[in-house]
Structure 1
């Protein structure tokens, strides 16, 4: 197999970083690539009609997959939608309808080349066009909100803004163990649900919701892409989250969330053929800006972290940990940021015990290295976000995966990859 030169790939990444850091903004500060359409877009907006669209492309070059092999993969996402403000369209006191279609294409660097659990590309998965949202929401003038319809529950719950600084799904906006351990589905996977939020005090909000659990609507089931009423419901997922945002809008803003979910679906007890009724989990998410420059408070250092624990009986990733930091404002570029993140997940002990039992049953000697495989996968990612235009972002990154064979029960060396994400808003 053709081998990529690590030195050449790293030099290419460094050049990309330097080019991004030296790029200068132009007088064109349009919020979208296609602009105002000669005034049409602004006219529609005043009438309550807001079309939207965006594109994300992610190219990853695996320098070494841990077994000495290399290669590259590309994945992309195209999203279009429409928001209808009913106060302008129909004279209601408020409320808005939302429609979103999503299309994903490409190949997975993790599945094809590395074999690790933490996907190197956030936008890979469900490679087809699907209905991702038909919903209605209503805000009660500072007294909370209500939302219902067919949409992804992660739009409000378990959401950490710092995740919008990386490529790897482990450092995405939600803990990976949410979807890995239950009927929780994040974008672009939609299901029927309803939620509400209530302000309890200044900067404190309590959110709660109910969502359908239907495995037929998730994953790569193209047959249900436009079938929101598809059969296959296995239960309900109830979620509750308390959010505190001290200093919001100020130079030292913070965001803290503690939440829990309960999934009523029956699930297999890990390591056995039996099943149990219900799954649950709790999480803590935190993001805090520690410093701000006097001349421009948007610049400064922010730290973040995640911890999640799910039930012992059914959860492949029982303990989830994320930590990281980013600095916004690099040189003359106030909207650029440099971010460093770490994520780790441990294989449930019941799965590891079952795997060792299977080895013994097949006659593998007790002194075999297969009994001593690591039980934790770890990720380190360094990413630079270059905001070239209000509508265009480039994000080169470097990912280092420790023990990528953990969740496939195989011995493998550490993996190294470089990537580039492109985001554009239409």
Structure 2
């Protein structure tokens, strides 16, 4: 309520709270016992056993709400507070339990996003979103519509339908609020064709388990500029259609190893990708001369590519319980075509930092996103000819974030955070930004 008091004139904020209250009222028709709330991953409990009975019949569902506030105390042109949120409505069917279809799983997910982007409204100039849940059109999205089939004694998995790339490739959590530390990192750099949640496109993924703790996988994802166009999303994002204008396919390849070190879990991923679509060179023209000087069309590059590494390891405590987990993520994109061509993030998360608060956690991370120097050179050369003075980055944007996650019950967390952005947009011409954030989530 404190957040919305500051934004009392925001109809979206009020609508979000109203919708949450309505959902609680509607879904709470079944009796909710206090012991259910204290132990269940759902705020509305076990519904007098109804959830368990549905699960035994192969039906699981999820209704969730996430809310992110941010206020900049420095940086940008003015101090502002902005919020953004997301509703998730999902259903999972175990086809073997439902109809005896061995090894089959069906997933359907719709999402709805609302709110404003602090970085854009305050003119901070940042590369990475301060509120990671913002973006891809503040509207309804068909986020998942797929069938996953296990074969060969469950060693082979084939997944078909409408998929988000980051749910399978470079799969990483979004515990932090700054996008630098959230989800599949390649989507932060080349988001025009590597598309993460909540936007899906037609795709296929094949995964082969080489051992109990290792697998390799290959995917093919449709590349179509309409999927990442906000105007198209507002009118068609919820439809399972196949728009015209496909330019090629994104083909990621990944090897994943999930070992146990001293009894503690880890996840190690090494991957690469190739986009068959042509890409425009950031600096050179069709004659391999500087575009800013010649004024000619950009050189067309045949395909676009990149590689990544993700390391995550719990290093203390008990497996999956209290203790520290370290992570390092690194991605390098094609320097000929990607305006943001490199990202590095490393951090630590500690679960159960206080006695008696086993579900709480604290996180600390630092990261850097590199602006392609070739594009910066292009803009500077254009400005020299036109007399303009465009602010463009040719170096790193550095981000640090610290959060504490309070979990009063398993279905709810309240996560205040502090972010500092050094050289937003990869240039010292943008003032550094100090941001106070608040991330809140509830699963009904």
TM-score (norm 1): 0.86
3-state SS of 1:43 partner: helix
Structure 1: distance between partners of 2:324 and 2:53: 40
Deviation at 1:390? 1.1
Q: Which among 45, 48, 60 is matched to residue 58 of structure 2?
A: 48
**Secondary structure, counterpart of 2:381 in structure 1:** helix
2:372/2:394 contact within 8 Å kept: no
Q: Equivalents in 2 of 1:256, 1:267: separation in Å?
A: 30
1:295-334 alignment, distance < 5 Å: 298-331=321-354, 332-334=356-358
Q: Which whole-Å deviations, capped at 9, do the CAs of 1:71-104 have from their partners, x for residues lacking one?
A: 1000000010111111121111120111111100
Shift of 1:145: 1.6
Could you say which residue in structure 2 is the equivalent of 1:128?
A: 139
SS in 2 for 1:183: coil
CA deviation after TM superposition for structure 1 residue 35, in Å: 2.0
What is the aligned partner in structure 2 of residue 22 from structure 1?
Answer: none
Secondary structure of 1:334's aligned partner? coil
2:332 aligned counterpart, secondary structure:
strand
How many residue pairs are counted as aligned between the two chains?
389
Distance 1:382 1:412 in 2: 22
TM-score by length of 2: 0.83
Residues 1:152 and 2:172 aligned together:
no
Q: Which residue of 2 aligns with 1:15?
A: none
Runs of 5+ consecutive residues of structure 2 not aligned to the other structure = 1-33, 284-290, 292-296
Q: Which has the higher contact order (CA 8 A, sep 6+)?
A: 1
Match of 2:96, SS state, is helix
Q: CA RMSD in A?
A: 2.2
For residues 436 and 280 of structure 2, what CA distance do their matches in structure 1 show? 37
Q: How does 1:171-320 map to 2 (within 5 A)?
A: 171-175=181-185, 180=190, 183-220=193-230, 221=232, 222-225=234-237, 226-247=239-260, 251-271=263-283, 272=291, 273-274=297-298, 275-292=300-317, 298-320=321-343
1:77 has 2:86 as partner: yes
Structure 1: any 5+ residue segments left out of the alignment? 1-25
> What displacement does 1:178 show?
5.1
CA distance in structure 2 between the aligned counterparts of 1:121 and 1:142, rounded to whole angstroms: 38
Counterpart CA distance in 1 for 2:395 and 2:250 is 29
Change over 3 Å in CA distance of 1:137–1:227 after alignment to 2: closer
Asked if 1 retains the 8 angstrom alpha-carbon contact of 2:379 and 2:392, the reply is: no
- Cα distance in 2 for residues equivalent to 1:101 and 1:142: 28
Q: Which moved more, 1:73-82 or 1:305-314?
A: 305-314
Cα distance change of structure 1 residues 176 and 336 upon mapping to structure 2, 3 Å threshold: farther
Q: Which runs of 4+ in 1 moved over 6 A?
A: 370-373
CA contact (8 A) 1:251 1:297 kept: no
Deviation at 1:252, TM superposition (A): 2.3
Shift of 1:423: 0.8
Q: Does 1:390 align with 2:393?
A: no
Deviation at 1:375, TM superposition (A): 1.7
Which 10-residue stretch deviates more, 140-149 or 48-57? 140-149
What's the counterpart of residue 294 of structure 2? none
In structure 2, relative to structure 1, the CA distance for the partners of 1:372 and 1:120 (3 Å cut) is closer
Shift of 1:123: 0.8
1:163-174 equivalent positions in 2, closer than 5 A: 163-174=173-184
Inter-partner Cα distance in structure 1 for 2:443 and 2:210: 35
Aligned to 2:429: 411
In 2: Cα distance, 1:45 partner to 1:199 partner: 26
Structure 2 counterpart SS, 1:265: coil
